[in-house]
Structure 1
Amino acid sequence: MWLQLRCGLEPRPLAALGAVMVVAAVLAGVHFWSGRPQAVSAPEPVKEGATASGVPGDPGSEDSGAPLRPEPSPGLPPAVAPGGQIVVDVSGKVRRPGIRRLPPGSRVADALRAAGGVRDGTDVTGLNRARVLADGEQVVVGAPGGPWPVGGAGGGGPGAGATGPVGPAAPLSLSTATVDQLETLPGVGPVLAQHIVDYRAEHGGYRSVDELREVDGIGDRRFEDLQPLVRP
């Protein structure tokens, strides 16, 4: 009544003004109520042994009731063929040449035994029968026309009491030589010989002798020593 008499308002505009004021008061109350500070509870500590997979329904989560499934650890795959075996090619002067499947950790002697043994009269002086085999390796026994001639201690011909390699008769083929044969080259040990074979397996053989420069462990000086003794 005071506002109506003071401002000279009619009842209808006065009612509208009152409604606007009520709505404004309600909105202000809601705004201040939603912005009030609230208490936040600290997260629960993670239980020991829990895995990172916590999706409900997952076979390895606790919500499914199944036992926790360990995550596979990253790492290099084992150097064996599928089935837990290694596959080697045994050729040359053996009784049953061909592909042989052997347990991991087998040695050259095991591969020769699986191929029926070495033929009678074959010289295996330069063959390291105690070396551990790798998957995909080739073992050549007494290949004809090999890189080293076999002679006696007194310089006799082939078959006259062989004692080991005496010198290169022809360049050694990088595409077919075994690790044992590569070790007979000057300055080439077991590790470097394996690098040469690994490069051959990765690149499908050698197309030129210059590719030896790309093998790990062969510098310019060593390449100059090996270049006249090898061929692709």
Structure 2
Amino acid sequence: MSDKAKRMTGVLLVLTGVVLSLAHILAPVHNDGIVYRTGCGSAWQLSGIPVKEAGIVRINTAGEDELETLPGIGKVYALQLIEERNKNGPFYYPEDLTAVHGIGNGTVKKLYQYINLTVE
């Protein structure tokens, strides 16, 4: 394959990646008539779990003790979550929790089924 053909193939692969990334970011996720779009393009599918069901924590109103019931969240992270919430306002998207030092995408994925992001 010539150098020109290799470069054109590389350009096409990059452009394909860009188009697919943009399509993923711009595509809304629908659930119960509400459109949810994440800040970094990740699709977070909400489940129909009632808020009052055991194990669901309202992350934007929960106190330290309630936050500590979440898997992987101890006293330090609970206090940091409260501090972040008080300083910068409510968490709107699950990935907003990564603003707390030490909470990464893996932790957020583990917490997702246990949290409710309702802002009241």
Using structure 2 for the length normalisation, give the TM-score: 0.50
Q: CA deviation at 1:220?
A: 2.1
Q: CA deviation at 1:207?
A: 1.7
The residue identity in structure 1 corresponding to 2:83 is D
Aligned residues: 67
User: Which of the pair is proportionally richer in helix?
Assistant: 2
Using structure 1 for the length normalisation, give the TM-score: 0.27
What is the aligned partner in structure 2 of residue 177 from structure 1? 62
Residues 217, 174 of structure 1: CA spacing in aligned structure 2 closer, same or farther, 3 A cutoff? Answer: same
Larger Rg: 1
Residues 195, 146 of structure 1: CA spacing in aligned structure 2 closer, same or farther, 3 A cutoff? Answer: farther
RMSD: 1.8
Query: Secondary structure at the residue paired with 2:60?
Result: coil
The residue identity in structure 2 corresponding to 1:176 is T
Provide, for residues 53-88 of structure 1, a one-character-per-residue CA deviation record: whole Å limited to 9, x for no partner: xxxxxxxxxxxxxxxxxxxxxxxxxxxxxxxxxxxx
Tell whether the 8 Å contact from 2:68 to 2:78 is kept in structure 1 after alignment.
yes
Measure the CA separation in 1 of the matches of 2:97 and 2:111. 9
Q: CA deviation at 1:146?
A: 5.9
Structure 1, unpaired ranges of 5+ = 1-144, 149-167
Higher relative contact order (CA 8 A, sep 6+): 2
Q: CA deviation at 1:210?
A: 1.9
| 1:219 equivalent in alignment to 2:118 | no
User: Which of 200, 208, 213 matches 2:85?
Assistant: 200
The runs of at least 4 consecutive aligned structure 1 residues that moved more than 6 Å come to: none
Alignment identity in percent?
30
Query: Which runs of structure 2 are paired with 1:146-157 in the superposition (5 Å)?
Result: 148=54
Measure the CA separation in 2 of the matches of 1:222 and 1:207. 17
